């Protein structure tokens, strides 16, 4: 259920607490969904400078910030929080506990109208606003709307400096979990000054009118006794700020007229969007765009844009924010960001910690090199150069740029094939693919880098860098040729995700495999279209609420990045769809992201890091790359606006849905408007394009009819082109001017058939093992002793952001004389020493891929075992743990061979998704999940549940089984056999 409402100004959102849902579903970072209370506090943030003003559904607020720590996720420091209470005749009520609250969230503030049950007739209005870039101002207004005079005691309490770790919900903090150290509160001339030995700032709190605060513990209380006659108003302000940034001039201004602070904050964001507007038939899309522009401002960190405000407040690779800034005309910020990254000692473009030092290690074994942000940096540098012609910046950073490209080729072409690989935990490049590795030859990095080097070689020629031009052109040509000849799946018509060192062709796609050809390569239209056809078939689906969404990939287990719904990726995919003329699908995807970034969320107007399977925006929020990707997709994709030729040409290739009758987009440097008029049996579409300076126009638009007339108000060249199997009208001006009008008329068509997409369905299957068990009498299973085969006490957990040995704890399952019962089948197990509930296993492992280089490292463990049986058996039951990397999804990784005494064999392939999966998430379709107790259930960041597999396989009972052999044949897969039992009879048969 959508909790918030859109306001007409497109950038504000409202909530009526009395009508809001009581519960909402929340999908956690681990992809586990739970039902939670719908109404929160501290669940909406806005940031200016370093200060985050946190408000929420209920009328409380906190000031927060982060510091330049040597980590990518610095702690949030709360500079205090405020609570307001009212008392009269012994009755007291905190205003935030009322159930009758109407809230409006605006770009600079939150506004509340509150009715209190204990004080009928009292109307409470509250504004909590940013105060410059240093603090907050609170305006409390009380009105006696009753018939009798009121005597009230009002108090505002503020205090509590504390440190807060990572949050996985919309709320920025839990007041009970903060690490409060050594708060100190002193009074000085009617103000409270709050400090803590762990932070450099002092927090200055004062009121207007001036009230001498009272210190209560670590908080300052500003209390006032008032009398209100009928219809009388009373107003009080509380001003809170960081004293180190709260200079005397601001102090005086605040004291004289605190309303000016509220007005200035509002004016600040009005200026941000002054020259930006959008009008389409979709109010949701319009609101999403304007909100994203404001979010980009919240997210700005002075040199770059942050990965996030709600969490991850560091300079993670800005894959899309620089593109967004360029498309909005923020050239100064884009140039500053590219210069900063290009001038780093390492060269562009490593992940940076909050301290701006390179961050080389992510989640234990996941190493991040300086190449992590380079592909998108190159794309945005090329975009900047095409838009500005700024040769000086490129010359300044050229040597370091060349060094970073050389490094990329050296470390990522591990196979020396001319194609690139990528390391485990792709999170900067292949954004948010936390669990993906691509050893050997990988499609996505090779597609993007080859296309970028083609373009860079042309720029090198312009700059007289002939040696670099020739080298990059040769690298690009080799990559492109090898991609086409060795990586293209001719049968299913898409690029393999990767071909590893064992020459296995991996078909489980990440969205980039399907999107990058259209966006970043010079491959044929046919390859681009077929790749996107597979995107539609594999990853795009429709919810029951008719939201169109896209999964990031087909990878398993279901966990963040593998196959979840991610907004930055959806917007990038939408851009590819617009480029190839699929406006309807692109628009619907963007509209779903708009909802998640505005009202279908628990953080109104804060763009999310991820979405749930129904399209709801989920934590964390004010996330930089989704914000940037959305803005860029609307401007360059939906409206097709781009400045090129060193700023001399305005390119407008809009891809607007055919059913739209109007659309307008205004940017600081151009305007584009569109109207469609249907007259009799013809359609007239009118385009008006204005530029802030004289530029040539390069215009193109898709049309669906053959009989087309084009008229313009300028000298032009008109061409009718066939691209991506569709007709495109191309119009280019022969002279420069500031205003262009184009009218296109064609015969109306009733053949516009909209694409349909499958509804989201949860897998509903009965595993092969369960089906077989229904025909068997589990009581007749006999255990097999594996003591002589056991070789390990645990298995390496590779799922759920882990890379650590995991003991198998079977507490909760009945165990008698060394045997335990699982699904009513007895198994003989051995305990691990004194660990009463942990059991041993036969651990099989072929090899591991180095997490950074991808090189295959042979395992010291055995990769096969042959267990003697010498019995007739109708079925065999195997209890085991398994682990694998996500890249092995859908791959046959080994086999189980049943050897009969006469020499015949039955072979069952071990396949990731059928009978091999991970501890963290059961997705093996042919096995039964067996829940176990493990440390991940208490994990402070990624709690979840681990599972074993129970596989039951049929055998020929007429023949004697001599042995059962288990083999693992590929790297990055483990099988830990814990127990094995066999059955001689079916139901109704005797032993």
At 630-665, the pLDDT tens digits run 999 999 999 999 999 999 999 999 999 999 999 999
Bigger pLDDT: 756 or 373? 373
Which helix (H) or strand (E) is 123 found in, with range? strand 122-131
Half-sphere exposure of 66 (CA within 13 A, CB side): 28
Indicate whether 248 pLDDT > 50. no
| Per-residue pLDDT, 836 | 62
Q: Flag the least confident range among 362-376, 441-455, 469-483, 772-786.
A: 362-376
Distance CA 535, CA 510 (A): 9
- Average pLDDT on 232-246 reads 86
The residue among 258, 290, 323 that closes a domain is 258
Q: Is 990 inside a domain boundary?
A: no
CB-based contacts of 151, cutoff 8 Å, min separation 6: 88, 89, 225, 226, 227, 228
Distance CA 282, CA 160 (A): 44
Indicate whether 991 pLDDT > 50. no
Query: Could you tell me the residue range of the domain that residue 848 belongs to?
Result: 768-984
Q: Is 585 inside a domain boundary?
A: yes
Q: Are residues 252 and 342 in the same domain?
A: no
Q: Are residues 600 and 700 in the same domain?
A: no
CB-based contacts of 938, cutoff 8 Å, min separation 6: none
Distance CA 539, CA 551 (A): 5
Q: Is 422 inside a domain boundary?
A: yes
Q: Are residues 210 and 304 in the same domain?
A: no
Distance CA 141, CA 502 (A): 71
- Confidence band of 864 (pLDDT split at 50, 70, 90): very high
Q: How many angstroms separate the Cα of 192 from the Cα of each of 158, 213, 870? A: 9, 7, 84
Q: pLDDT per residue over 948-983, tens digit each?
A: 999 999 999 999 999 999 999 999 999 999 999 999
| Per-residue pLDDT, 254 | 65
Q: How many angstroms separate the Cα of 888 from the Cα of each of 419, 465, 854, 856, 916? A: 20, 42, 14, 14, 10
Q: Is 509 inside a domain boundary?
A: yes
Q: Flag the least confident range among 46-50, 816-820, 862-866.
A: 816-820
| Per-residue pLDDT, 710 | 95
The enclosing domain of 425 has a CATH number of 1.50.10.10
Give the global pTM.
Answer: 0.96
Q: Are residues 687 and 787 in the same domain?
A: no
Q: Are residues 127 and 211 in the same domain?
A: yes
- Confidence band of 764 (pLDDT split at 50, 70, 90): low
Task: Give the bridge partners for 156, in sequence order.
Answer: 84, 222
Q: Is 478 inside a domain boundary?
A: yes
* Maximum C-alpha span of the chain: 103
Q: Are residues 236 and 332 in the same domain?
A: no
Q: pLDDT per residue over 460-498, tens digit each?
A: 999 999 999 999 999 999 999 999 999 999 999 999 999
Distance CA 191, CA 203 (A): 10
Q: Are residues 565 and 616 in the same domain?
A: yes
DSSP β-ladder status, 488-489 and 494-495: antiparallel
| Per-residue pLDDT, 190 | 87
Q: Is 17 inside a domain boundary?
A: no
Indicate whether 168 pLDDT > 90. no
| Per-residue pLDDT, 158 | 97
Nearest to 922 by CA among 935, 909, 931, 933: 931
Nearest to 702 by CA among 638, 642, 653, 634: 653
Which helix (H) or strand (E) is 551 found in, with range? none
Nearest to 871 by CA among 776, 980, 741: 980
- Confidence band of 842 (pLDDT split at 50, 70, 90): very high
| Per-residue pLDDT, 679 | 87
User: Token digits for 607?
Assistant: 């763009």
Q: Are residues 298 and 245 in the same domain?
A: no
The chain-wide mean pLDDT, for the chain, equals 93
Instruction: List, edge to edge, every strand of the sheet that includes 835-839.
Output: 794-797, 804-809, 835-839, 831-832
Instruction: List, edge to edge, every strand of the sheet that includes 960-968.
Output: 864-872, 960-968, 892-900, 905-911
Nearest to 427 by CA among 303, 554, 569, 549: 569
- Average pLDDT on 376-401 reads 98
The number of domains in the chain is 4
Q: Other CB atoms closer than 10 Å to residue 287's CB: what's the count? A: 25
Nearest to 439 by CA among 460, 456, 417, 454: 417
| Per-residue pLDDT, 250 | 59
The DSSP call for residue 484 is I
Bigger pLDDT: 531 or 358? 531
Q: pLDDT per residue over 665-685, tens digit each?
A: 999 999 999 999 998 888 999
- Average pLDDT on 289-314 reads 97
| Per-residue pLDDT, 990 | 44
Q: Are residues 192 and 292 in the same domain?
A: no
Which helix (H) or strand (E) is 870 found in, with range? strand 864-872
The label of the residue with tokens 């961050």 reads 359
The enclosing domain of 681 has a CATH number of 2.60.40
* pLDDT more than 70, % of the chain: 96
Q: Flag the least confident range among 135-144, 215-224, 479-488, 498-507.
A: 215-224
Helix, strand, or coil (residue 96)? helix
């Amino acid at each position: 259920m959508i909790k918030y409402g859109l306001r007409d100004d497109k950038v504000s959102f409202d909530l009526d607490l009395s009508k809001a849902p009581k519960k909402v579903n929340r999908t956690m970072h681990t992809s586990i969904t739970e039902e939670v209370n719908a109404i929160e506090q501290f669940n909406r943030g806005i940031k200016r400078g370093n200060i985050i003003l946190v408000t929420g559904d209920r009328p409380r607020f906190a000031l927060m910030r982060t510091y330049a720590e040597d980590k990518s996720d610095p702690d949030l420091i709360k500079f205090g929080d405020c609570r307001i209470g009212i008392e009269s005749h012994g009755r007291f009520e905190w205003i935030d506990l009322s159930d009758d609250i109407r809230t409006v969230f605006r770009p600079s503030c939150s506004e509340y109208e509150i009715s209190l049950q204990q004080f009928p007739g009292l109307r409470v209005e509250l504004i909590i606003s940013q105060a410059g870039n240093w603090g907050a101002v609170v305006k409390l207004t009380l009105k006696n709307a009753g018939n009798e005079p009121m005597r009230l005691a009002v108090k505002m309490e503020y205090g509590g400096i504390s440190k807060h770790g990572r949050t996985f919900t919309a709320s920025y903090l839990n007041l009970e979990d903060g690490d409060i150290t050594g708060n100190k509160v002193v009074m000085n001339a009617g103000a409270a000054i709050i400090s803590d030995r762990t932070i450099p700032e002092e927090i200055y709190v004062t009121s207007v009118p001036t009230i001498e605060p009272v210190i209560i513990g670590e908080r300052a209380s500003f209390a006032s006794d008032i009398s209100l006659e009928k219809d009388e108003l009373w107003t009080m302000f509380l001003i809170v700020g960081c004293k180190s940034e709260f200079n005397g001039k601001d102090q005086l201004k605040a004291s004289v007229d605190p309303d000016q602070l509220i007005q200035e904050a509002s004016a600040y964001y009005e200026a941000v969007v002054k020259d930006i507007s959008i009008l389409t038939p979709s109010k949701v899309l319009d609101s999403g765009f304007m909100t994203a522009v404001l979010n980009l401002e919240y997210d700005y960190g002075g040199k770059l844009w942050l990965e996030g405000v709600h969490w991850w407040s560091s300079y993670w690779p800005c894959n899309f924010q620089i593109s967004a800034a360029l498309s909005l005309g923020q050239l100064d910020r884009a140039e500053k960001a590219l210069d900063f990254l290009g001038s780093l000692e390492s060269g562009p473009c490593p992940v940076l910690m909050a301290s701006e030092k390179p961050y080389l290690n992510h989640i234990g074994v996941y190493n991040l090199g300086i190449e992590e942000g380079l592909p998108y940096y190159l794309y945005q540098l090329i975009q900047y150069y095409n838009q500005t012609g700024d040769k000086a910046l490129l010359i300044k950073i050229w040597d370091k740029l060349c060094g970073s490209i050389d490094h990329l080729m050296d470390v990522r072409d591990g196979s020396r094939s001319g194609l690139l690989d990528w390391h485990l935990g792709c999170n900067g490049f292949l954004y948010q693919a936390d669990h993906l590795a691509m050893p050997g030859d990988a499609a996505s990095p090779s597609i993007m880098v080859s296309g970028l080097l083609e373009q860079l070689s042309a720029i090198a020629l312009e700059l007289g860098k002939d040696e670099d031009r020739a080298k990059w052109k040769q690298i690009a040509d080799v990559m492109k040729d090898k991609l086409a000849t060795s990586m293209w799946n001719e049968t299913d018509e898409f690029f393999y995700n990767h071909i590893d060192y064992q020459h296995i062709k991996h078909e489980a796609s990440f969205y980039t495999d399907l999107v990058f050809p259209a966006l970043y390569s010079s491959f044929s239209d046919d390859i681009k279209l077929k790749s996107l056809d597979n995107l539609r078939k594999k990853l795009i689906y429709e919810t029951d609420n008719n939201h169109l969404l896209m999964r990031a990939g087909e990878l398993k287990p279901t966990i963040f990045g593998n196959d979840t719904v991610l907004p930055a990726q959806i917007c990038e995919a939408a851009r590819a769809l617009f480029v190839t003329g699929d406006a309807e699908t692109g628009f619907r995807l963007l509209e779903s992201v708009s909802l998640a970034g505005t009202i279908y969320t628990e953080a109104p107007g804060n763009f999310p890091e991820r979405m749930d399977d129904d399209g709801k925006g989920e934590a964390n929020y004010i996330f930089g790359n989704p914000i940037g990707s959305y803005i860029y997709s609307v401007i360059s994709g939906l409206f097709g606006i781009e400045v090129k030729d060193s700023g001399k040409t305005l390119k407008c290739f809009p891809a607007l849905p055919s059913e739209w009758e109007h659309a307008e987009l205004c940017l600081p440097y151009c305007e584009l408007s569109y109207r469609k008029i249907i007259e009799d049996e013809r359609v007239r579409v009118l385009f008006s394009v204005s530029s802030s300076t004289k530029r040539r126009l390069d215009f193109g638009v898709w049309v669906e009819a053959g009989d087309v007339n084009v008229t313009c108000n300028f000298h032009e060249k008109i061409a009718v082109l066939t691209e991506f199997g569709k007709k495109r009208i191309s119009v280019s001006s022969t002279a420069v001017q500031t205003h262009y009008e184009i009218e296109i008329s064609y015969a109306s068509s009733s053949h516009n058939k909209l694409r349909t997409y499958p509804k989201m369905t949860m897998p509903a299957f009965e595993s092969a093992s369960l089906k077989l068990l229904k025909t068997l009498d589990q009581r007749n299973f006999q255990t097999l002793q594996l003591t002589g085969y056991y070789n390990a006490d645990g298995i390496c957990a590779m799922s759920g952001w882990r890379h650590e040995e995991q003991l198998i704890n079977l507490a909760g399952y009945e165990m008698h004389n060394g045997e335990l019962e699982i699904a009513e089948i007895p198994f003989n197990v051995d305990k691990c020493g004194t660990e009463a509930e942990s059991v041993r296993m036969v651990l099989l492992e072929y090899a591991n891929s180095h997490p950074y280089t991808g090189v295959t490292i042979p395992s010291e463990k055995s990769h096969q075992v042959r267990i003697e049986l010498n019995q007739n058996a109708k079925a065999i039951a195997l209890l085991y743990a398994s682990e694998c990397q996500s890249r092995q999804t859908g791959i046959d990784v080994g086999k189980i061979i049943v050897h009969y005494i006469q020499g015949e064999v039955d072979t069952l392939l071990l396949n990731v998704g059928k009978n091999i999966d991970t501890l963290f998430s059961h997705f093996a379709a042919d096995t039964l999940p067996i829940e176990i107790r493990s440390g991940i259930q208490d994990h402070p960041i990624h709690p979840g549940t681990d599972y074993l597999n129970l596989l039951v396989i049929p055998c020929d009972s007429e023949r004697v089984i001599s042995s059962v052999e288990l083999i693992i044949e590929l790297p990055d897969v483990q099988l830990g056999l814990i127990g094995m039992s066999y059955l001689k009879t079916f139901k109704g048969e005797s032993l």
